[in-house]
Amino acid sequence: MIKKVKRSSFKNFFIHIEKEEAWINHMCKQGYALQEITDGYYVFETSTPSRYIYRIEFLEQDVFQKEKDDYLALMKELRVEQVASIKRWHYFRRDASLGEFEIYSDIDSQIEHYQRINFIWYILAIIFIASGLSQVFLFRDIHTFEIILNAVLVIIGIFFLILGFPLTKKIHALKKRKNLFQ
């Protein structure tokens, strides 16, 4: 039996990766294995509860196709299946009977992963806040519509900052933990 769950672009663009990953794993525990993500839907198929462990990875932007293919081949050798990919986000699963499945098993790779995501949040924050504040510095008459539009842009920028702060704290905590072990 197939179960489709609507994938809200807005919600999932701003969702924390751990929450999405936990939700997909929770669905699997209930007997719904993620098969693909298509046309704005998560597509689940009934399966044995807790059959798979799912992980989500945000790949580097400058990964060339050959490097990406090599990486996916390595994952396949580790008996990890790529279920879906949306731009740089890749959804992987592995049979739970094979044991724990972590993509980022060391602190350095975890830090690097969170920094890649955080970089996007902060760049978007800068773009939106700068766009929203740019009209203030042009010293011309600003109409009500422009004021509202600029306020919305600044609010969106602040939202991206808010998304970045928890990851920044997580990165600092991981760096602190890394220093303890050195």
Mind listing the pLDDT tens digit for each residue in 22-42?
Answer: 999 999 999 999 999 887 888
Q: Please identify, among 98, 120, 147, the residue that sits at the C-terminal boundary of a domain.
A: 98
Asked whether residue 62 falls in the same domain as residue 117, the answer is: no
Domain that includes residue 134, residue range? 107-180
**Using CA atoms, how far apart are residues 127 and 153, in angstroms rounded to an integer?**
9
Asked whether residue 21 falls in the same domain as residue 65, the answer is: yes
Asked whether residue 134 falls in the same domain as residue 72, the answer is: no
More confident residue, 8 or 80: 80
What mean pLDDT, rounded, does the chain reach?
85
Q: Please identify, among 98, 132, 167, the residue that sits at the C-terminal boundary of a domain.
A: 98
Mean pLDDT value of segment 80-101: 90
Asked whether residue 29 falls in the same domain as residue 70, the answer is: yes
Asked whether residue 12 falls in the same domain as residue 92, the answer is: yes
Asked whether residue 127 falls in the same domain as residue 166, the answer is: yes
Question: Percentage of residues in the chain with pLDDT exceeding 90?
Answer: 37
Mean pLDDT value of segment 95-116: 87
**Confidence class of residue 50 from pLDDT cuts 50, 70 and 90?**
very high
